[in-house]
């Protein structure tokens, strides 16, 4: 199950986010999205959990929870929309 996590503290590390979700079950991966140019966190990320029921429990209990002084937003990630192939304009 892929989970969206928003309103993250910009200094939160991926391993710290993973530890929070690991309390609810097996975490497969954690990705905090960063700006390509600056490398600075954008304040949101994704956590992938192995068991859907454990992911559902994490979403239910962590949505609105305080992490590093911020109330995080947690919900099931929606599938990424299909985008047309990029064409270079050279």
pLDDT band for position 86 (50/70/90)?
A: confident
Mean of pLDDT values over 51-66? 97
Domain positions in the chain are: 1-38
pTM over 0.85: yes
- Chain centre distance of CA 54: 15
**First-to-last CA distance in the chain?**
40
pLDDT (tens digit per residue) in 8-44: 999 999 999 999 999 999 999 999 999 999 999 999 9
Name which of 49, 43, 47 is nearest 71 in CA terms.
43
Sign for the CA dihedral angle at 16, 20, 23, 24 comes to negative
Return d(Cα 57, Cα 25) in angstroms, integer.
Answer: 9
């Amino acid at each position: 199950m892929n989970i969206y996590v928003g309103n993250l503290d910009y200094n939160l590390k991926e391993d710290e986010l993973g530890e929070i979700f690991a309390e609810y079950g097996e975490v497969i991966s954690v990705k905090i999205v960063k700006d390509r140019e600056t490398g600075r966190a954008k304040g949101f990320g994704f956590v992938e959990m192995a068991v859907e029921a454990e992911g559902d429990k994490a979403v239910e209990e962590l949505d609105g929870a305080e992490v590093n002084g911020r109330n995080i937003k947690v919900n099931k990630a929606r599938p990424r929309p299909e985008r047309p192939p990029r064409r270079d304009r050279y």
